[in-house]
């Protein structure tokens, strides 16, 4: 087969001198609020995207103004853990330099939106004061490492979060560019190199997660690389390794598809870093660098064949994977409310709609959580933990502090976050409009209205206490992992979505395309008879997705690959 030309992003990376490009010059350019085109690719590796406010794009075009350029910043936050002090700093930055809100992402990170170019450096420098950074939060590298959120499982939880920290450091780019550009670090004078990535980094983004069964909160099978903790006699003896998961799809390009990761074997804890690095470097060397839509690890594996891929990883790591061990997953959701841990301390999980921390007429979430952070600042083990379901855990709280936290939250209108409906507990929506450049329809902003109508229908059938995994995105990229949901909606055009049905409640089965390009009436027109049938004919404890499969109500699966 003829060699394909490299994609333009490969040229930009190669010429970038380890991710420097002309970022310094772009940031200093007083003429525009934007950075150069090439730098828009490089800044991703530094944890930022150039965006513009799409709500005013057309108006500004008519007024002959340049788009309302602004930047999104995403933190690197292994396992989503931060201190009250870090929370307070982010809160202050959101108020001073961003759009008065924080966004908890589906991968346990923070995003701030609406930072103008001239403030970017200040924001990153201030984050650095509290030991937060944004390096490798985006870009063609291993990104934020996700990790199961169950602090109530004491030692096991501590062990996996430590593993997430170690992996994050091990796979972090070595370039000094971040320090030089954002933190006024001294320029690197010696010869630089990237031991894991090389000078062109990876062909595409790369994502890693660690999970402790039975809760599959991280959606481990949606990740390029995953580690499933195997617990025997109360301790972690090792991890099953998963490779090749991914969600992103391009409409009208059938050679793109969501894929569940394969379990390829078992490793002991001391083998995790070497195997992870071997998976990453195999993707580095074998991944597609011509077509970015076919560059994720899932395509590399399907092209090479799983056996050849595993053999390559074993050879590079010098580790022969042992046969996988048994595990069981039960669900992907978080359990809202207070829960006591093995060591007696308390953890409060709040269900935050679409992960958006802001103040509005109903709830003053930003203000309430600021007050909580101030009140627990002196409690050393107290932490905020972001969950993969865009929720928040206030962790390690002594019993005598619980009622004052409750009072703070409830007095700011957050009582519904303690016990949301079963549906809301299992709902995700991506950011979409107005900041996301890729959005074709609304997601986060539309979800509340969609849920109100949906809950009315569920109540008609007596299904109001039924947990159903519902996920909505504004485009097919899949940022809320919609292809894993029992009901998935991906944006097609304003007000129109593709409807996917039948994913597993435990995150172990993809759903299937059911109807294309339908509006809200169309969606509920399809769902209503299925829900009625579900209410009437389901087996005890049967989930909606399983029911659709048992009753053969879904179209035949298409072999995408």
Say if residues 485 and 505 touch (Cβ distance below 8 Å): no
Closest approach of ligand SF4 to the CB of residue 492, in Å = 11
Going by their DSSP bridges, the two strands 146-147 and 208-211 should be labelled as parallel
For 553, counting Cβ atoms within 10 Å of its Cβ (0-12 exposed, 13-18 middle, 19+ buried), the class is: middle
Q: Which does 481 bind (CB under 5 to 8 A by kind): ligand SF4, ligand SRM, none?
A: ligand SRM
The whole-angstrom separation of Cα 235 and Cα 156 is 7
What x/- string results for residues 476 through 515 when contact with ligand SF4 is judged by CB under 6 A?
-xxx------------------------------------
The whole-angstrom separation of Cα 241 and Cα 356 is 32
Among 474, 502, 503, 545, binds ligand SF4 (CB under 6 A): 474
Report residue 67: phi and psi, to 5°.
-55, 155
Among 79, 238, 333, 478, binds ligand SRM (CB under 6 A): 478
Query: Which token pair is 28?
Result: 């200093």
CA 102 to chain centre: 15
Q: Which does 474 bind (CB under 5 to 8 A by kind): ligand SRM, ligand SF4, none?
A: ligand SF4
Closest approach of ligand SRM to the CB of residue 438, in Å = 5
Among 46, 107, 347, 426, binds ligand SRM (CB under 6 A): 107
The whole-angstrom separation of Cα 93 and Cα 429 is 24
Residue 49 interacting with ligand SRM (CB under 6 A): yes
CA 333 to chain centre: 14
Contact range with ligand SRM by CB under 6 A, out of 241-249, 419-427, 488-496, 532-540: 241-249
Reduced to 3 states (helix: H, G, I; strand: E, B; else coil), residue 344 is: coil
Query: Which token pair is 167?
Result: 């992996």
Closest approach of ligand SRM to the CB of residue 429, in Å = 7
What x/- string results for residues 380 through 419 when contact with ligand SF4 is judged by CB under 6 A?
----------------------------------------
Q: Which does 473 bind (CB under 5 to 8 A by kind): ligand SF4, ligand SRM, none?
A: ligand SF4
Closest CA to 555 of 503, 509, 522, 515: 515
Among 196, 202, 475, 489, binds ligand SF4 (CB under 6 A): 475
Closest approach of ligand SRM to the CB of residue 117, in Å = 16
Say if residues 225 and 268 touch (Cβ distance below 8 Å): no
Active site residues: 74, 143, 205, 207, 430, 436, 475, 479
Bridge partners of 518, per DSSP, are: 497
Q: Which 343-402 residues touch ligand SRM, going by CB under 6 A?
A: 355
Count of chain residues binding ligand SRM (CB under 6 A): 30
The whole-angstrom separation of Cα 54 and Cα 501 is 30
Residue 438 interacting with ligand SF4 (CB under 6 A): yes
Cβ proximity to ligand SRM: between 176 and 245 the closer is: 245
Say if residues 218 and 211 touch (Cβ distance below 8 Å): yes
Query: Which token pair is 45?
Result: 């590796």
Say if residues 423 and 466 touch (Cβ distance below 8 Å): yes
DSSP H or E run through 122: helix 117-129
Say if residues 245 and 319 touch (Cβ distance below 8 Å): no
Cβ proximity to ligand SRM: between 73 and 530 the closer is: 73
Q: For the beta carbon of residue 14, count every other beta carbon within 10 angstroms.
A: 12
Closest CA to 526 of 500, 549, 503, 552: 500
Residue 109 interacting with ligand SRM (CB under 6 A): yes
Closest approach of ligand SF4 to the CB of residue 507, in Å = 18
Contact range with ligand SRM by CB under 6 A, out of 341-349, 394-402, 428-436, 506-514: 428-436
Say if residues 207 and 497 touch (Cβ distance below 8 Å): no
Among 26, 83, 86, 105, binds ligand SRM (CB under 6 A): 105
The whole-angstrom separation of Cα 107 and Cα 99 is 21
Among 142, 271, 425, 473, binds ligand SF4 (CB under 6 A): 473
Q: Which residue is nearest to ligand SRM (CB)?
A: 248
Q: Which 247-306 residues touch ligand SRM, going by CB under 6 A?
A: 247-248, 296
Cβ proximity to ligand SRM: between 105 and 363 the closer is: 105
Where on the chain is the footprint of ligand SF4 (CB under 6 A)? Answer: 430-432, 436, 438-439, 443, 473-475, 477-479
Where on the chain is the footprint of ligand SRM (CB under 6 A)? Answer: 49, 51, 72, 74, 105-107, 109, 111, 143-144, 205, 207, 222, 246-248, 296, 355, 430-431, 435-438, 477-481
């Amino acid at each position: 087969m003829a060699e394909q030309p490299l994609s333009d992003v490969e040229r930009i990376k190669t010429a970038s001198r380890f991710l420097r490009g002309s970022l310094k010059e772009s940031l200093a350019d007083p003429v525009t609020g934007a950075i150069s085109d090439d730098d828009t690719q490089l800044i991703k590796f530094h944890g930022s995207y150039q965006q513009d406010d799409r709500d005013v794009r057309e108006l500004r075009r008519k007024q002959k103004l340049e788009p309302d350029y602004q930047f999104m910043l995403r933190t690197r936050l292994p396992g989503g853990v931060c201190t009250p002090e870090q929370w307070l700093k982010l809160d202050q930055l959101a108020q001073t330099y961003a759009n008065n809100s924080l966004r908890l992402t589906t991968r346990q990170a923070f995003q701030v939106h609406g930072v103008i170019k001239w403030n970017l450096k200040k924001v990153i420098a201030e984050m650095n004061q509290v030991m937060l950074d944004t390096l490798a939060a985006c870009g063609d590298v291993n990104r934020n490492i996700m990790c199961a959120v169950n602090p109530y499982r004491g030692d096991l939880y501590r062990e996996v979060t430590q593993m997430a920290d170690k992996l994050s450091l091990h796979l972090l780019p070595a370039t000094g560019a971040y320090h030089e550009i954002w933190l006024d670090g001294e320029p690197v004078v010696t010869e630089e190199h990237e031991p894991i990535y090389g000078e062109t980094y990876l062909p595409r983004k790369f994502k890693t997660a660690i999970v402790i069964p039975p809760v599959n909160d991280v959606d481990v099978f949606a990740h390029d690389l995953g580690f499933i903790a195997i617990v025997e006699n109360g301790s972690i003896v090792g991890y099953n390794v998963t490779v090749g998961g991914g969600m992103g799809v391009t409409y009208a390009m059938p050679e793109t598809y969501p894929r569940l990761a394969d379990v390829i074997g078992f490793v002991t804890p001391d083998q995790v870093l070497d195997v992870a690095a071997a998976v990453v470097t195999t993707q580095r060397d074998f991944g597609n660098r011509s077509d970015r839509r076919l560059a994720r690890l899932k395509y590399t594996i399907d092209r090479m064949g799983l056996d050849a891929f595993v053999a390559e990883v074993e050879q590079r790591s010098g580790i022969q994977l042992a046969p996988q061990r048994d595990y069981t997953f039960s669900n992907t959701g978080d359990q809202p409310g207070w829960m006591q841990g093995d060591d007696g301390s308390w953890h409060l999980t709040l269900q935050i709609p679409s992960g958006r921390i802001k103040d509005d007429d109903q709830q003053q979430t930003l203000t309430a959580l600021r007050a909580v952070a101030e009140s627990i600042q002196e409690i050393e083990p107290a932490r905020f933990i972001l969950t993969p379901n865009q929720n928040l855990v206030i962790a390690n709280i002594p019993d005598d502090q619980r009622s004052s936290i409750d009072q703070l939250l409830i007095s700011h209108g957050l009582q519904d976050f303690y016990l949301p409906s079963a549906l809301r507990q299992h709902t995700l929506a991506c950011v979409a409009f107005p900041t996301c450049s890729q959005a074709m329809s609304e997601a986060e902003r539309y979800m509340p209205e969609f849920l109100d109508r949906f809950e009315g229908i569920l109540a008609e059938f007596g299904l109001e206490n039924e947990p159903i995994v519902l996920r909505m995105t504004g485009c097919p990229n899949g940022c809320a992992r919609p292809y894993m949901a029992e009901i998935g909606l991906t944006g097609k055009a304003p007000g129109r979505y593709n409807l996917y049905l039948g994913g597993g409640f435990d995150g172990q089965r993809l759903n299937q395309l059911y109807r294309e390009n339908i509006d809200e009436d169309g969606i509920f027109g399809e769902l209503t008879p299925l829900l009625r049938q579900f209410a009437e004919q389901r087996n005890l404890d049967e989930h909606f997705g399983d029911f659709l499969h048992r009753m053969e109500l879904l179209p035949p699966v298409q072999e995408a690959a």
